[in-house]
Amino acid sequence: MEVDYDEYGFNSIVVRLIQLMNVNVKEIREVSILL
């Protein structure tokens, strides 16, 4: 995973994580139900 710290900094990592979470929302909900 390439991240340009100079241009985006830590925010880019957060955005990528949010995007991954949005893609796997259904899976996360299923896991949360199991927990």
pTM flag (> 0.85): no
The answer to whether residue 9 scores a pLDDT higher than 60 is yes
Q: In 3-state terms, the chain is what percent helix, strand and coil (to 5)?
A: 70, 0, 30
Task: Give CA–CA dist 18/16, Å, rounded.
Answer: 5
Task: Give CA–CA dist 13/5, Å, rounded.
Answer: 9
Residues 27 and 17 sit within 8 Å (Cβ to Cβ): no
State residue 26's pLDDT score. Answer: 73
Pick 4 or 11 by higher pLDDT.
11
Phi-psi domain of 8 (left: phi exceeds 0; alpha: psi -120 through 50; beta: other): alpha
The answer to whether residue 33 scores a pLDDT higher than 60 is yes
Amino acid at 15: V
